[in-house]
Structure 1
Amino acid sequence: MDRQELSALAHADHPIAAPVSASNMGELIRRAACKPDALVLDLGCGPGEWVLRALQEHPTARALAVDTSGEALRRAEDSARERGVGDRVTFVRGDLREFQPPRPCDLVLCVGATHAFGGLEETLRAVDEHVGPGGAVLVGEGFWERPPDQAALEVLGATPDEYRDLAGTVEAVEAAGWTPVHGHVSEPGEWDDYEWSWSGSLTRWALDHPEHPDAEAAIEAAREHRTGWLQGYRGVLGFACLLLQRNRPPRR
């Protein structure tokens, strides 16, 4: 099964595409108080839930949203039209690292997509040139809730130094020239809802379409994912969303 199609099916019941509830996502967006006529940039927007919520919370804002997945962008465009904000957002298919907004942004979102830049610090360096004076960054990043064992590392395809603990993550953010003004650490229930939704959505699609040539592959992918979570990284991998502002003048 095509990886993008699999991801779209797996996130059908949890389009936020991160272990964050709708209420906590809304609180993070509200904390990122945008000035009138703000420009929001979402790097790695997926199906668009974060950027669309930003437009709903900030009714005079406009947005640009970038992703590599054509399927995710099609879903995002459909959602934008359904919510009545399609005229205020432009979706772009392309490389996150190469995209250049037409002017400095007031809010840059990068939730669960720091791998596209090579990691957290690289992401913060890359977005620095996109953020205007007084602007903010909302970044979502994994961290180790506890030191990972070999089972967790194998499932995630990770190394022990791929993530830090939460304190180390905040220290890295500050060392990169940013400081948290708010944050949210995903709760166990948020993780469970996300993971059950991921495997459940995929499994239900396969059971509802038994004649589809990818049905068996979808069931196996869901089973493998669920087993890896339950027997590998549940309670080991954490996720934090940090709302950041500069702790130094912008580089120009």
Structure 2
Amino acid sequence: MDLPRHFVIRESSHRVLNPIEPAQLATLGAALRLPVGGTVLDLACGKGELLCTWARDHGITGTGVDIGTAFLADARERAAGLGVADRVAFVHGDAGEYVAAELVDVVACIGATWIGGGTPGTVRLMERSRKPSGMLLVGDVFWRVDPPREAVDALFGDLRGVDCLPLPESVERFHALGYDVVEFVAADERGWDRYVAAGWLSMRRWLDANPDDELAPEIRAELTRSQLHHVRWQRPYLGWGTFALMRR
């Protein structure tokens, strides 16, 4: 069980594997007023930047779960580099099936709501690990403006478990699931650019270094497609943010 190789290549230079920039991730951690010693479970944790930096800055302890072995290796290296390897642990496994052995203060799933078959299912999965007084952090997409049919097909035509709504309807969905939205940090166009465009350089440098690799044609096609996909559809239409939720 692992991530496709092309995904690892594209994301090789990233620390945060979504459009929120490191400064916004720090803003979110400060805004949540996390208690020293608080416990966090991060489902589909990627390279573990949330857990590692919040352990350093706020004294939390936590566990991250992901199927990406290369990403988990980076997460463990990051934890060691920040001096928090004794406070965070990383588990190779399917985040869509993971439930904490002990309930935690915060359960996060930042940008991987497909693990529960969509946002409602992911919220229900996260609830199984949350203390009654705890929070959920859900990173999710939303429509910035009303999209044409072509944008919907281009962005989500091949994806299952993604139900993108306008921002007001996204908040209403959390209300319907029984939650208040108590904090919100949104990516902007700069964040999208930094996330997506960094992958272009990673792919191009990989192609230059590996022209005869069997994956090279696929990476070349992805590099060409991604540039137009981003500027034509993703950047103008798609929003992305992290919602902090508390049970009503």
Normalising by the residue count of structure 1, what TM-score does the alignment of the two structures yield?
0.89
Counterpart of 2:132?
133
Structure 1 counterpart of 2:43, which letter? L
Partner Cα distance (1:125, 1:14) in 2: 29
Judged with a 3 Å threshold, the aligned counterparts in structure 2 of structure 1 residues 4 and 80 are, in CA distance, closer, same or farther, namely: farther
Counterpart of 1:91?
90
* Further displaced range: 201-210 or 110-119: 201-210
Instruction: Note the C-alpha offset of 1:98.
Output: 2.0
Q: For residues 204-243 of structure 1, what are the structure 2 equivalents within 5 Å?
A: 204-243=205-244
Partner Cα distance (2:9, 2:176) in 1: 38
Partner Cα distance (2:137, 2:77) in 1: 24
Q: Percent identity?
A: 27
Counterpart of 2:203?
202
2:48 aligned with 1:48: yes
Counterpart of 2:64?
65
CA contact (8 A) 2:108 2:136 kept: yes
Structure 2 counterpart of 1:152, which letter? A
Judged with a 3 Å threshold, the aligned counterparts in structure 2 of structure 1 residues 156 and 147 are, in CA distance, closer, same or farther, namely: same
CA contact (8 A) 1:15 1:49 kept: yes
Instruction: Note the C-alpha offset of 1:221.
Output: 1.4
SS of residue in 2 equivalent to 1:203: helix
Partner Cα distance (1:118, 1:224) in 2: 26
CA contact (8 A) 2:3 2:67 kept: no
Counterpart of 1:23?
23
2:125 aligned with 1:110: no
CA contact (8 A) 2:63 2:89 kept: yes
2:95 aligned with 1:121: no
Partner Cα distance (2:243, 2:79) in 1: 25
CA contact (8 A) 2:119 2:163 kept: no
How many residue pairs align between the two structures?
244
CA contact (8 A) 2:186 2:239 kept: yes
Instruction: Note the C-alpha offset of 1:211.
Output: 4.3
Counterpart of 1:11?
11
In the alignment, structure 2 segments of 5+ residues that lack a partner are none
SS of residue in 2 equivalent to 1:86: coil
Partner Cα distance (1:220, 1:102) in 2: 43
Partner Cα distance (1:188, 1:231) in 2: 13
Q: For residues 171-210 of structure 1, what are the structure 2 equivalents within 5 Å?
A: 171-210=172-211
CA contact (8 A) 2:20 2:241 kept: no
SS of residue in 2 equivalent to 1:146: coil
Partner Cα distance (1:228, 1:208) in 2: 25
Instruction: Note the C-alpha offset of 1:3.
Output: 5.2
Partner Cα distance (1:36, 1:83) in 2: 17
In the alignment, structure 1 segments of 5+ residues that lack a partner are 248-252
SS of residue in 2 equivalent to 1:24: helix
